[in-house]
Copies of this chain bind each other. A is one copy, B any other.
Amino acid sequence: MPADALSAKFAALADPTRRAILARLALGETSVGELAAPFEMSLPAVSKHLKVLENAGLIHRGREAQWRPCRLEPEALKAVDGWLETYRRLWDERLDRLDDYLKELQGKAKKRGRSK
């Protein structure tokens, strides 16, 4: 079990069913029963996934006895987005370097064209 909050979020996201549940909840809050329907899974199996998502802070579950609506907590993903920031900068830099290189090649091609 991951000890820190960010690890718990990444671990919760490392499952296609849990990501599908989040995608469904992005459309609006719903019940466990409705969430289970498209997955051909038992309610306890879905509940287990919801528990993981809830512990990671990615969803909120209502406390009403009969109908416990599940709601997405999209802000919880901001920590993941913040972590990505460093790496996003790296791939932007790579693109910039590629762009510079292409301009350099274009420059050389033009010079060669002129010298002919």
Q: Which residues of A contact B (CB under 8 A)?
A: 2-4, 6-11, 13-16, 19, 22-23, 26, 72, 74-75, 77-78, 80-81, 83-84, 86-88, 90-91, 94
Determine whether the beta carbon of B7 is less than 8 Å from that of A15: yes
In the assembled complex, the Cα of A90 lies from the Cα of B78 at a distance in Å of: 11
B residues less than 8 Å from A81 (CB atoms): 84, 88
Instruction: Tell me the complex Cα distance, A23–B19, Å.
Output: 25
Q: Are A7 and B16 in contact (CB under 8 A)?
A: yes
Q: For the complex formed, measure the closest distance between the CB of A80 and the CB atoms of chain B, giving whole angstroms.
A: 6
With both chains docked as a complex, state the minimum distance between the C-beta of A24 and any C-beta of chain B, in angstroms. Answer: 12
Q: Which residues of B contact A94 (CB under 8 A)?
A: 74-75
Known: A74-B90, A74-B94. A14 touches B26 (CB 8 A): no
CA of A89 to CA of B40, assembled, Å: 29
Chain B: which residue is nearest A93 at the CB level?
A: B74
Which residues on B sit within 8 Å (CB–CB) of A11?
10-11, 14
A41, B7: Cα distance in complex, Å: 19
